Structure 1
């Protein structure tokens, strides 16, 4: 298999994941950016570093006002809380509420189960290779996005 076929398959995965997320957002009356914001906030919490509004804006490449709109929608829907950082009371950090975690389970559990079923045909060594491939592909995507942002001055 050549690089072009791998690129096509990664692109297809990206498109299908976007379609899945869009459908899920429609079913739960959430914008795509809202869902992305929730994932960023949840992932930051898992890493032990709650994200601020400014950090979220940077991560999503949104203006401060657009980020405020996203956070207002999520807060109004009951999925998000803004809290003072316990380490720095001047800093406001974002926390997902249980409803957002439940929403995440609704989104990722069926997909995770389907992935797990599809992956059963791969042995441990193959899974290690797939993990390395995905990690390298994600890193290349982040690096290229960052370079494009720097080049365009965004």
Structure 2
């Protein structure tokens, strides 16, 4: 009986893990007929999956921009501000669903959740979420290299 119970628990764990797993697909420009890059992701969780197009904007020099715990509309979940960082003078238009994924310059990205560095856990300096890092990169960057460098500097 114990063996059956143990096998049942293991099966449930594997089944449940599969239910909350996300899938990422990336296709490079050499793999498409027209040279387009493709980024796709399924988000298997209770996220705000409405399509939101954020317009490009100009900002006052020296202004600050909030860092949010979740990037969702307030009708879905209360907005919680974790801090703020300096705003750039111009931000590009960007698109999000559950996660931010593209901007007007053709920069695309996906997300796969991994644990953070232990040294930043429970630190007042650790205010960035993956959603917020992606949003800032899409607002401010035109290339993948720029996005990686910016997200690394903010994380």
The answer, yes or no, to whether TM exceeds 0.5 is no
Relative to total residues, which structure has the larger helix share, 1 or 2?
1
Relative to total residues, which structure has the larger strand share, 1 or 2?
2
> Of the two structures, which has the highest relative contact order with CA contacts closer than 8 Å and spacing of 6 or more?
2
TM-score (structure 2 length as normaliser): 0.22
TM-score (structure 1 length as normaliser): 0.22
